[in-house]
Every structure is written in structure tokens, then in C-alpha cells.
Structure 1
Amino acid sequence: MLQAIGLTSTPRQDRPPAVDDLTFEARPGAVTALLGSAGSGKTTALRLMLELEPGRGTTYFRGRPLHRIAQPQREVGVLLGDIPGHPSRTLRSQLRMLCAATGVPASRAEELTRAVGLDGLERRRIGTLPIGADRRLGLASALLGDPHTLLLDEPDSGLSAAERGRLHEFLRAHADGGGTVLYTTADPKDAVRNADRVVTLHAGRLVGDQDVTEFARTRLRPRVSVRTPQAARLAAVVTQEARAARRPVEVVAEDGNRLSVYGSDCAAVGDTAFRHGVPIHRLAAETGDSGAPAGSGRAAPRTAAGDGRPESGGAGRRAGTAGPAPADASPRSSVSRDESRDIGAGKSGVARRPARSPLRPLRYEIHRLLGVPSTPLVLTAVLLVSVTLALLLGRGGRAALPAVLAGWPALSPLPPAALGAGLLGAFSFGEEYRYPALTTGRGAVPRRPGLLLAKLTVAAVVALLLGAAVVVVDLTVLRFVYGGELVAVPGNWPTLSASWLGLMVGCAWAGVLGAGVFRAAAAGVAAVLAVPVAFVPLMQQVLTGPSVRSAAGFPARLREFAGPQWSPAVDRWLAGGLRVLGQPSGVALSLTLTGLLCAYVFTGLRRKARW
């Protein structure tokens, strides 16, 4: 049972709210259509239900609001707008990444690929899928967690008639299995064909909540649409002749000079107008939404042919504002409201805290990294540029060997490997905001510690592997080209290696945090470049000033404080680590990472407070 109670969006710029005091129910075992024209507030209503839009009101999914559901993806499947996902990612990798986010086995992706009819397209990239396959991918993404409720925003938009039929057959099968289906549409005929209940919106307000049979009877009756400058006179004579002939004819005055005549045909209305000399500007038979619904302030009272008086409450019944349907209106409904509340509350009646999303962040992040072609392209470009720069620097013989092995010319603020590590780190959050894949959570990219830790871990591992690969490949190529006797490994290689790998990890983390704070990959790259360009010169002036004190002997004093069990090897490693961190670049990078981490936490707290 889905229960939306008092949904009201926050007005913007002194405009009326897009959704105003919307209350309705979508029962399990039935398909409910949320009907309305463009701009009526259908999409905003769905976003309010998912707590993605600021506003008031509550939506209960089997007795629980979304923020009290421990695993939202297992309860609610969502399809809003375009299919989220990187266009270069394959269909299979996209679904597997979402499986990790939902916490279901990867085999679920293959199962749904077959179920929605995407066999043979697993290796196609999302950007090359036809519109029908694109919508089926969205449906598969919504069904990954085997949810009870489906919320779909115009799921058949752009589909052919055959694809539209298959989609609604799938939705019907989900409802027949006891699930709840709510989808939006702007076509009343589509709602009659595919839904069990129709909820009608106009200007953000509820104007109808009807069983599909009642909706078809009151809103889709055949009628004759007449446009004439003498609308009141024509309505009177048509009603008079129908009363005399004892025919059930009903005349409704619409906007301006337009009439809708129910229970007659074009020939009869045209003959009546001719006999009484009423000019006709338009005469057509129609079936469909007859214009402004009740409550919009535009529909005039209808006149019944029986007594010529305005029909009491007729406009309201025509628009579907009658009372709630009986409890047995949906034959497939098998869960009552009280039962759904019992299910939602659980035995203890204590609400559970939502689980961190994604549910398997490390596996999710690995799938995200390896699922796009940008990762191998960046790694290959870094190796090629580093080898080229190493050969050019080693040819002159004047550059220091560490700079040669790193491919780091004096003109560059950072070596190519550090820039590549920072770029991959920036992509880890930048692509999340550009191509959101976690839309069913609390926003596009949840500020969860587990997700941040997974991104930092994967970025650090990739940076370490990239840094080691660059040095090994550069050293091998230099020895092959210039000879092993000219390129010897320096004696202080442990300290140099620690500094090098620390620079790689620091740049990768700066890219991750910069993109997470400013929600763009370019901001992550800017945060990486800010360290050598802005902060390192400043740290050099601070650390080399005349009043700076030396920290020599700090490991020995720390060993005395800790106890006599401190081994000399640990002393040497600690001293080496302090020397690495004590360099201007190490201090600048540490301060930058600390500031970005604090900004990430602060922006996350502000966002929570705003919601």
C-alpha cells in the first residue's frame, strides 16, 4: 500500500506550489495511473514521495516513510526521466554496478536482462541503445532489488505500440504478483487501457481519484464538440428538443463559446442548429478528456436534458471528485491498510535506521572504475607520456635521476603520474554527479562514510599501482635505450619511493575530495593542481624561515615516552616518514587534504540540515 498524505512542494519565486495538498492511495495488486497534462505536477509528486524534493507531507510505503526504510532499493523501484548512467558504460556493467549498490548478487543482472527482453545487448553501450531498449534498461534498474512498489515517470514515452504493450504487460504481471505500481501519464486513454485506478491532477491539485470504470464513464464518454457564437441559445434548444423527444442528452458549457453535447451525434446537433438559425463554427465527434477538470475555475455547470436545471454536483462527478472508492474496488488487493502498517512497523514497533548506500560500496566502486573506457585511456596516456619525458630528460644527462624516472620536467607542476592519479580520483565523484546512478537513495550521491571510504581506498590502490608501474616502465626503457651502467638505482631508494607513492596517493585523494565537495571532476583536478601551484611555494617560505625550529630527535623522544621496546628499525622508518612529511610538498598536500575533508563533511551536514 502506497499512501501519499498532504504532499505540498515548496513554492519558488512567489509562484504557487507545483503540488498542493495531494492525498491519495495506490493499492497493492493494482496498477494506478497518475494522470495529468504537462506541468500538472506529476513528476514533482513522485519526487516528493521519494524525498528528493523539498516540501511538506508524508508518503508511506507499506506503513513506513522512505527515510525509515533500511534498504529503500528493496522496497521501491524508481524510473525518473532519462536512464542514469555513463553513455560509454555497457548495459551489463551498468546493471552489475547497480547490483552492488542494491546489495544483490550479480546474477540478478543477467536474470533481469532476460526478463525485460535485452538478450544480446549486454555489451552495447548505453549511449547507443535505441529508445525502447533504453526504457527497458530503466525498468530492469528499478527491479534489481525485487521491490514491492514501482514508481515510474511516463515509462512508455517514445516507445512504439508493440514496446508499449510489452511494458504494460510487465507492469501488470508485477501487480498480479501482489506488487504496487504507480506510473504517470498524460493520455487518459492510456490510463483506461492499462490502469485499475486513475488519480487525476490539475495545476498540482487532486481533481479525481476513481476506479478505471468510473473514470471511463465520466471522462471518456463520446460527445459532440460544438463551437458557436450563440452557445447559450444552442444549449437551450438542444436541451428542449431532447426533453421533448425524451432522449438522455446532456449539454456542458465549456470555455468561451464551446459546448460539449453528450448522448447525441453531429447530425442531430447540426440539424437542430440549422432549424433554429444558430451559426456553427465547429462541429466534431470526440472521445477523451473534455477540457478543464472541476476545480480549475473554467468549467460551467452542466445542464441535464430531464428538467433543464443545473445538475447538483455534476461538475464534481464529471471530474472524478466523488468520494473514495469502496475497499473492494480492486479485486487484486490482498493487503489492508492495518496489515500494511503492521508489516511496516515490525514486531518491535521501532523504526530501523536506513542502511548506508550503496550497500556494497567497495564492489560498487570497483565496477564503477572498470566499467568506463576513461580508466584504461588515462592509464595508457600516463605511461606513454612518462616514458617519452623520461627518455628526453635522460638524453641530456643533466636532470636528477628521480626526476627522470618520474618523467617530471622542471616546467611541470606535477609529474604525469600524479596528474593521472588525481584525474582518476576526480572522476570517481565527478561522474557520479554528471551521470547519477544512486537516484533511489537520499539524493543523487549519498554522503555516506562507507561510499567515501571505498572511493578513497580504490583511488589509493590505483595510484600506488600507477606510481609503481611508471617507475618500473621508465627504468626498464631507460636501461634498454641508454644502458644499465648509466642508469643505476640510487641508494636512498626507500625514501624516494615513499615520497613518490605518497605524492600519488595524496593527489588521488585530493581529486576525490575536491570533486566530492564541488560536484565536478574539473574541481577535483583544480584541487590537485592547487597543491604545487599555490600551497607548495607558501609552505617553502614558511618552513625555511629564520624562526623555524627543527624537529630533529623527535623519534628518539617519542621512543623514550613510549617505552624501551621501540626497535631501531621502527625508529628509522619513523624518521624517514617524518622527513617525507616535513617537506614543503608533503605539508601542503596534508593541509589540502585536511581542508577538503572538513569541507566535504561540512557540506554534507549542511545538506542534511536543509532537508
Structure 2
Amino acid sequence: MLQAIGLTSSPRRDLPPAVDDLTFEARPGSVTALLGAPGAGKSTALRLMLELEPGRGVTYFRGRPLHRVAHPAREIGVLLGDVPGHPARTVRGQLKLVCAAAGVPASRADELLDVVGLAPLRDERLGSLSLGTDRRLGLAVALLGDPHTLLLDEPSAELSPREKSWLHGLLRAHAGQGGTVLYTTEDPKEAARVSDRVVTLDEGRLVADQDTASFARTRLRPRVAVRTPHAARLADALSREARAGRRSVEVVAEAGSLLTVYGSSCPEIGETAFRHGVLVHQLADEIGDTGPGPGPAPSSASGSAPGSAPVFAPPSGSVPGPAPAPEARAEVRTEVRTEVRAEGRAEIRRGSRTDGPALLPAPLPGRPARSPLRPVRYELRRMFGVRTAPLIMVAVLLASVALAVPLGRTGGTPLPGLLAAWPAILPLPPAVLGAGLLGALSFGDEFRHPTLAGARGTVPRRLALLLAKLAVTAGTALLLALLAVLADGAVLRLVYGADAVPVPDNWVSLGAGWAGLAVGCAWAGLLGAGVFRIAIAGMAAVVAVPTLVVPLLQKAFAGPSTRSVAGLPGRLRDMAWPVWPHQADQWLTATFRLAAQPVAAALTLSLSALLCAYLLTGLRRRARW
């Protein structure tokens, strides 16, 4: 059961809160519609339930608030608008990415593709999907963790009737298996047709919380459905007689031969049709009806003349007949809904024998396994699931080679700068700038195209994710730095001969410094983008190290020094409890000498500041939640 208690959004400037003291519940085994006009606060209410909006109130999912749910993906499935994913990622790659984030087997992605009917489109890019296909993928993402509760924001908006029918069948199937479904809609007819309970909002406040029969009887506009092969003639006759009698009658031409008439009654319309010689196939009062049915009326009602008295029809189609009393109508709707649920459950039970895909996937066998590799798998799929990272690496290698050849021709560049393709006019070499860009995209691109916009916690945005991102970006930076040196060295040897690139004696220290510079800049870009949630901020943090932080440190330590750190390795040896070999002194000395370089010191200082800022912003967001 979902229980929302006192949901209130933060007040806006000179405006009332979008949601004000909203309290309702959605029961398991039923579909609940959150109904309201645009701007009524429906989407804000869902975001308050998911703790994505600041405000007051609490939402319990089967008795637990969201922050107490151990595995949110196994409890809540969310669809808020379009599928939140990188446009260049494939359909199958997106589902596998969410599988890694939610801790479910990767085979679940193929199973969900079959369920939602997207198996033939598994290699399509997200940016090329149609609206209906995108909505099916969003539902696959929501169902990936086998959740008990579905929260859907306008899932049927702008869909075709066929797509809506499929969506409504899936929602009813999920509720038929004991799940809880809460979705928002602006269409009262859809709410009356699909849901078991309707919660109506107006300007952020609760207006009504009713079962479907009561909602259809008290809040929907009564109308008469007329099906005739001469729809235009009858519509014109009804409009002319209404104007002559000064009555407010509205005639709406629906699809095919159906007319929906507001402000009139079956006897009046039947008499008008009789006077004008118009054949009427169906004539029925409707309150909360679904509109035109998918096929012709039953044979017992077809061809009935005006004034005949066939029986009342279920919501799936309009059958001519007098409108029953409100109590009788409610009973008929209840019986029909029970039959629909029974049929839905029967179809689920025999899902393997139906012609189309099963309505729901098979339940997951158990809870997701806790593994330290889970965030690493997620990050690897996120980084290499699109062509951005490989293209950046190729562009960096080409730029590095293009700079190394003219630098080697002049002969004025030292060997380390020559292998790194680092001219004096650039603040950093191309390989290091590329590593910083990959680090900045690791967080900035994720916030731009998040894997899951609805449920905090499904993507592990905690220390485990940060460590995974640090490890993956460090490995990528080291690989890029090594490839750049090898490519530059090979091209220089090819162009200028083997003597142009001799192997230096201190290649170990040079390699360590080069690796540290690449990894440090990659981490600076990662943390900068993580703090400000935009990739350009990460690149600004990378470029600020040589252009801003290094000059400040040089100015700060430009004065005379009265003390020296000479002998520090020996003093550390005396303080340490274990005894290390004397060769370690040389490594310590080399490490301190490397850290004392201006760029290294500036990079260390920048990384420390960015890490503290990242942790502080994370703690502040957690306290707000």
C-alpha cells in the first residue's frame, strides 16, 4: 500500500505551494488515478513522494519511507516523462545499464524487451525512438526490478488508441498480481475507464477521493452516444433544433459513425432522428464511458430503431438503451470490471500460450546481491555504452601526434614534453585534457542524461559509486596517457629516426609523473562535475590547475625559506613501528620531490578541495531528504 501523508511542496515566490497538504492512499491490487488539469500539482506530488522535491510530508511504501527502503528498484518502478538516457545509447544498452545499477541480472534486459514488444528494436538509438516506443521502453525500465509499486506520470499522454490499450492492459495486469499502481492523467474518461479509484487535485489541494463508480456518477458530464451511418445529417438536425428551441446542446463527432451529444437525452435524440428519417444503430446514455468501442455492437442491439429498449452495455462499447439508475449503473460497472480483471489474470496465467508477448515479466527469484563490482559494472556500461569515450580518445591521439611532429622538428622541446606533445602555448597536453574531459563527462553527462530520474538510490550515488568512478576514470586516463606516449614515440621514430627518441635514464620517475598528471586531471574533472552537476564545470576545474592554482602557489612560496625538509625520510623511519629497507628512502625522496613540483602541488590542493566540496554537498542533500 502507498500512503501519502501531508505532502506539501516548498512555497514559491508570491505563489502558493504547488501541492498543499495532500493526503491519500493507493491500495494494492488496484489502479489509482491522480486526476487534475495542467498545473494542478500532479507531477509535483509524485516528485514529493520520491523525495525529488523539497517539501514536507511523508510517503510510506508498504509501511516504509523511501529512505528506509533497502532496494528502491525492487519496491518502486518510476516513469517520469521520457526515458532518461543518453540519446546515442541503444535500447538494449540502456536496459543493461539500469540492470547494473539496480543489481539485477543482465538477462533481465532481454526478457523485458520481449515483454514490452521491443525485441526487434533492441539496437535502435534512444534518440530515434517514437513516442510510443519510448513509452514502452520507459515501462520496461520501471518494471526492471520487479517492483511492487508503479508511479507513472502521464503515461498515456499523446499515445495512439492502440498504445493506450496496451498500456492500460499492462497496468491492470500489474494490479491483478497484487501490485500498486498510481498514475497521473488529465482525462476524466480515461480515469473512469482504467482506474479503480480516482484522486482529484485542483491547485495542489485534494478535491475528491472516490471509487470509480462514485466518480463517474458525480463528477463526469452526462452525455448520449449515438451511432448512425448518417452522422453528419443527424448532427446538423440536432444543432438546428437546439438553436430553434434555445437549448444548450453540444454535438461532438467522434471517430467513424459515432456522435457524442451533451445537453440532451435519448428520447429527444430518438425523436429528432425519427422526424428526419435518420437510421440509428445505437443510442445510449453514458456517464464516465470510454467513448467508441473497438467494434460493432452486439447483434441483439444492432439495427434497433429509435425508441427500442435494449440492455445497458459495459464501458468498452456503447450499446443503445435507456440509462439505468445511478445505483444500477454502479453495479453494472463493478461487474464488468471484475470480469476484466479475471480475464487479465487468466491471460497472465497462460502468457506463454498467447500469440503476443506476455503482459508482465516473470518475477525475480530473490533480492539483488550486494557486490562491490556492481557500481563498477554500472560505470563501465555508462562510459563505454556510447561512442563518446572512444571518439574522445581517438581525437586526443590524433591531436597529440599532430603536435609531436612539429615539436620534434624544431628540436627545442625537451624529451618529456616531446613525448607528451606539450607545447608551451597549451596549459596541458592533449592527453591530459582528454582525460579531464572523460572525467568531467563521468558525472556531468550522467546528470544531463540520468539513468533513473525517479528513484533516488537505484543508481548508487554514494561512496561506492564515487569510488567506482574514480577507479574507472583513473584506468581510462592511464590507458590514454600510455597510448599517447606510444603513439608519439612511434611517429617520431618513423619520421625522424630512432635517435630522435632515446630512452631516458629516469624513465620511471618521468612515467610516474606523467601518470599522476593524467589521473589527477581526470579526477579533478570528475569531482568538479560532481559538485556542480555539469561537465563544463569539471573542465573548468581541470584548466584552473595550471592557469590559476599554480601561479598562486608559486607566488605563495616565492619568499626565502629558513627551514628545509632534508632528512624527512630518516625521521619518518624513526617514527614508524615497522622497519622498512633503506631503498625505500630513495622512493620517498623521489615521491616528495615529485609532489613538490608546482603542478603536482596545485593538483593535490585542487583535488582535496573538490573532494571536500563533493562530500559536503552530498551530506547536505542527504540531510535535506
Please report the TM-score for the alignment, with normalisation by the length of structure 2: 0.77
Residue identity matched to 2:55: G
- What is the deviation of 1:416? 0.4
Equivalent position to 2:561, from 547, 550, 556:
547
Report the CA distance shift for 1:548/1:595 in structure 2 as closer, same or farther (over 3 A).
farther
2-structure distance, mates of 1:56, 1:105 = 36
Matched, 1:135 2:149: no
Aligned equivalent of 1:112: 112
Residue identity matched to 1:449: L
Matched, 1:574 2:583: no
Provide Cα deviations, 1:292-315, integer angstroms capped at 9, x if missing partner.
xxxxxxxxxxxxxxxxxxxxxxxx
Matched, 1:79 2:82: no
Matched, 1:420 2:434: yes
Provide Cα deviations, 1:503-528, integer angstroms capped at 9, x if missing partner.
00100000001001111100000000
Alignment of 1:204-215 (within 5 A): 204-215=204-215
* Residues 42 and 201 in structure 1, CA contact (< 8 A), matched pair in contact too: yes
Provide Cα deviations, 1:393-420, integer angstroms capped at 9, x if missing partner.
1111121111000000011100001100
2-structure distance, mates of 1:451, 1:140 = 24
Alignment of 1:94-105 (within 5 A): 94-105=94-105
1-structure distance, mates of 2:142, 2:522 = 33
Alignment length (residue pairs): 521
Residue identity matched to 1:162: R
Q: Which moved more, 1:355-364 or 1:443-452?
A: 355-364
2-structure distance, mates of 1:24, 1:268 = 46
Aligned equivalent of 1:217: 217
* Residues 433 and 445 in structure 1, CA contact (< 8 A), matched pair in contact too: no
2-structure distance, mates of 1:36, 1:548 = 74
- What is the deviation of 1:447? 4.7
Provide Cα deviations, 1:312-342, integer angstroms capped at 9, x if missing partner.
xxxxxx9xxxxxxx9xx98979xxxxxxxxx
2-structure distance, mates of 1:548, 1:438 = 56
Alignment of 1:338-349 (within 5 A): none
Aligned equivalent of 2:475: 461
Report the CA distance shift for 1:370/1:5 in structure 2 as closer, same or farther (over 3 A).
same
Report the CA distance shift for 1:358/1:120 in structure 2 as closer, same or farther (over 3 A).
farther
- What is the deviation of 1:439? 2.2
Report the CA distance shift for 1:264/1:21 in structure 2 as closer, same or farther (over 3 A).
farther
Residue identity matched to 1:165: S
1-structure distance, mates of 2:563, 2:68 = 54
- Secondary structure of the corresponding residue to residue 151 of structure 1: strand
Matched, 1:430 2:444: yes
* Residues 30 and 330 in structure 1, CA contact (< 8 A), matched pair in contact too: no
Aligned equivalent of 2:4: 4
Alignment of 1:439-454 (within 5 A): 439-442=453-456, 447-454=461-468
Residue identity matched to 1:126: L
Unaligned runs of 5+ in 2: 226-237, 240-245, 248-261, 273-283, 290-325, 327-333, 343-367
- What is the deviation of 1:220? 4.5
Provide Cα deviations, 1:39-64, integer angstroms capped at 9, x if missing partner.
11111111121121222222221111
- What is the deviation of 1:129? 0.7
Aligned equivalent of 1:379: 393
2-structure distance, mates of 1:573, 1:204 = 66
- Secondary structure of the corresponding residue to residue 579 of structure 2: coil
Residue identity matched to 1:222: R
Aligned equivalent of 1:35: 35
Alignment of 1:453-602 (within 5 A): 453-547=467-561, 549-562=563-576, 565-602=579-616
Residue identity matched to 2:60: Y
1-structure distance, mates of 2:13, 2:82 = 27
Residue identity matched to 2:188: P
Residue identity matched to 2:601: V
* Residues 217 and 288 in structure 2, CA contact (< 8 A), matched pair in contact too: no
Aligned equivalent of 1:342: none
- Secondary structure of the corresponding residue to residue 485 of structure 1: helix
- Secondary structure of the corresponding residue to residue 64 of structure 2: coil
- What is the deviation of 1:548? 6.0
2-structure distance, mates of 1:49, 1:167 = 23
2-structure distance, mates of 1:185, 1:163 = 15
Aligned equivalent of 1:609: 623
Q: Which moved more, 1:163-172 or 1:73-82?
A: 163-172
- Secondary structure of the corresponding residue to residue 151 of structure 2: strand
- Secondary structure of the corresponding residue to residue 509 of structure 2: helix
- What is the deviation of 1:223? 6.9
2-structure distance, mates of 1:76, 1:199 = 20
Unaligned runs of 5+ in 1: 228-233, 236-258, 270-284, 291-317, 319-325, 334-353
Residue identity matched to 1:127: G
Equivalent position to 2:415, from 385, 401, 404:
401
- What is the deviation of 1:36? 1.4
* Residues 531 and 589 in structure 1, CA contact (< 8 A), matched pair in contact too: yes
- What is the deviation of 1:430? 0.4
Report the CA distance shift for 1:286/1:10 in structure 2 as closer, same or farther (over 3 A).
farther
* Residues 72 and 457 in structure 2, CA contact (< 8 A), matched pair in contact too: no
Residue identity matched to 2:40: S
* Residues 72 and 440 in structure 1, CA contact (< 8 A), matched pair in contact too: no
Aligned equivalent of 1:166: 166
Provide Cα deviations, 1:92-111, integer angstroms capped at 9, x if missing partner.
11111111111101111111
Residue identity matched to 1:63: G
- What is the deviation of 1:192? 2.2
- What is the deviation of 1:485? 2.3
Q: Which moved more, 1:110-119 or 1:206-215?
A: 206-215
Aligned equivalent of 1:192: 192
Please report the TM-score for the alignment, with normalisation by the length of structure 1: 0.78
- What is the deviation of 1:193? 2.2
1-structure distance, mates of 2:488, 2:564 = 36
C-alpha RMSD of the superposition: 3.5
Alignment of 1:246-395 (within 5 A): 265=268, 360-395=374-409
- What is the deviation of 1:360? 2.2
1-structure distance, mates of 2:40, 2:494 = 70
Report the CA distance shift for 1:548/1:491 in structure 2 as closer, same or farther (over 3 A).
farther
- Secondary structure of the corresponding residue to residue 51 of structure 1: coil
Kindly, what percent of the aligned residue pairs are identical? 62
1-structure distance, mates of 2:421, 2:541 = 21
Residue identity matched to 1:172: R
Report the CA distance shift for 1:565/1:7 in structure 2 as closer, same or farther (over 3 A).
closer
* Residues 362 and 451 in structure 1, CA contact (< 8 A), matched pair in contact too: yes
Report the CA distance shift for 1:392/1:193 in structure 2 as closer, same or farther (over 3 A).
same
Report the CA distance shift for 1:359/1:563 in structure 2 as closer, same or farther (over 3 A).
closer
- What is the deviation of 1:357? 12
Aligned equivalent of 2:251: none
Provide Cα deviations, 1:438-477, integer angstroms capped at 9, x if missing partner.
3233389765111111111111111111111111111112
- Secondary structure of the corresponding residue to residue 121 of structure 2: coil
Report the CA distance shift for 1:563/1:445 in structure 2 as closer, same or farther (over 3 A).
closer
Report the CA distance shift for 1:489/1:556 in structure 2 as closer, same or farther (over 3 A).
same
- What is the deviation of 1:141? 0.7
1-structure distance, mates of 2:514, 2:145 = 43
Report the CA distance shift for 1:564/1:84 in structure 2 as closer, same or farther (over 3 A).
closer
* Residues 102 and 358 in structure 1, CA contact (< 8 A), matched pair in contact too: no
* Residues 358 and 364 in structure 1, CA contact (< 8 A), matched pair in contact too: no
* Residues 513 and 597 in structure 1, CA contact (< 8 A), matched pair in contact too: yes
Matched, 1:121 2:121: yes
